[in-house]
A = this chain, B = another copy of it.
Amino acid sequence: MKDIIKQMDKAFDSRVRIAIMSILMVSKDWVDFNSLKERLGVTDGNLASHTASLERRQYIEVRKRFIGKRPNTSYRVTPLGKEGFTNYVNALKQLLQIKQ
């Protein structure tokens, strides 16, 4: 079990970050901040802090631009993020299936 835990990056130890990654993993395009916020039902500050921590680990990347006169921020998963999250989920599944 030690080895399973070691494969899991603590950066994903959060139901909100797991939900963000789950959305980005299956999205073929950038997903914008407001759409993430609505789907997750979290505040601006809460979402910003979770995306910032995933960005620091280079698991997601951010795109900031203007659509007309409105600033628009969106995210997508990086190859490193895909790998890290896949390892996390696989390890999680093993944890949840353990027998004494």
What interface size band does chain A fall in? 20 to 34
Tell me the complex Cα distance, A5–B1, Å.
27
Interface flag for A98 (CB, 8 Å): yes
Contact bitstring A1-34, B, C-beta under 8 A = 1, else 0: 1101110101001111011001100110000000
18 contacts between A and B (CB under 8 A): A1-B23, A1-B39, A1-B41, A2-B41, A4-B19, A5-B19, A8-B15, A13-B13, A13-B14, A18-B96, A19-B95, A22-B98, A23-B98, A23-B100, A26-B98, A26-B100, A27-B100, A89-B96
Residues of chain A whose beta carbon lies under 8 Å from any beta carbon of chain B: 1-2, 4-6, 8, 10, 13-16, 18-19, 22-23, 26-27, 39-42, 89, 91-92, 95-96, 98-100
